Amino acid sequence: MHTLYDLETQIPTFFHITLARVHDTKAMDVIPYEENSFYIFDRGYNDFKRLHNIENIGAYFVIRGKTNNDFKPMKWKRRFPPESGILSDAIGYMAGQLTMEKYPDKIRRVIYLDKESKNKFIFFTNALTINPVMVAELYHNRWQIELFFKCIKQHLKIKSSGVRPKTQSAFRSTMRSQPTI
């Protein structure tokens, strides 16, 4: 189940159910994007051609990047307060040949260290002017979707008898937020 969760109203605004074997990126084609809204994706939605389509609509995205995403920084900011957790903030271009063709415009990479878990997160966004801490906070708000899924799993009786795990539906998420630039 792919869900569009509105951060302002705290309710889901769109559901798309697919079999677990259907790749997450396929759901990106049916999401009703709105201009000037933010869409926050997890790594499973890492498809730069589809992300470029979101930019062409006039919407913004924040996606958790993969460590193997080739990125060529052109401009970066070096100094951040240690308490911010921001390790790097750079604007540049995707450097891989295929990725460059799919996303030819400038993109921003923010690297963030979560002090509690000590995990390092890589985020890509087309929001080039917002504070890098806001990029990390937008992604952190994705946790609201995970809480929503936990609630669904606890309160709904979803039977999967006779269905092999390969074809069971999976929970996936996208979040929409209005910009506060």
Query: pTM score, two decimals?
Result: 0.78
Distance CA 76, CA 56 (A): 24
Distance CA 133, CA 85 (A): 8
Are 160 and 19 a contacting pair, CB within 8 Å? Answer: no
* pLDDT tens, per residue, the chain with 181 residues: 667 777 777 777 777 777 777 777 777 887 888 899 899 888 888 899 999 999 999 999 999 998 888 999 999 887 888 889 999 999 999 998 888 999 999 999 999 999 989 999 999 999 999 999 999 999 988 777 777 767 777 777 655 534 333 333 333 445 455 554 4
Query: What are the start-end ranges of the E strands in the chain?
Result: 2-6, 11-16, 38-41, 60-64, 71-77, 86-94, 107-113, 120-125, 172-177
**Which among 29, 30, 21, 73 has a CA at the least distance from the CA of 47?**
29
